[in-house]
Amino acid sequence: MKRRTFSAELKAQIVLEVLKGEKEINVIANENEIAPNQIRNWKSEFLANAVNAFDNKKSDSIKEDLKTTEAQRDELYKKVGQLTTQVDWLKKKSEELYGPDWESKFTPRSKR
C-alpha radius of gyration, the chain, whole number:
28
> Percent of the chain having pLDDT more than 70?
96
pLDDT in tens, 29-40: 999 999 999 999
Neighbours of 15 (CB within 10 A): 19
CA distance 89 to 81: 12
Report which secondary-structure segment, H or E, holds 74: helix 56-98
- For residue 1, name the pLDDT band (cuts at 50, 70, 90): confident
- The pLDDT score that the predictor gives to residue 112 is 46
Predicted model pTM: 0.49
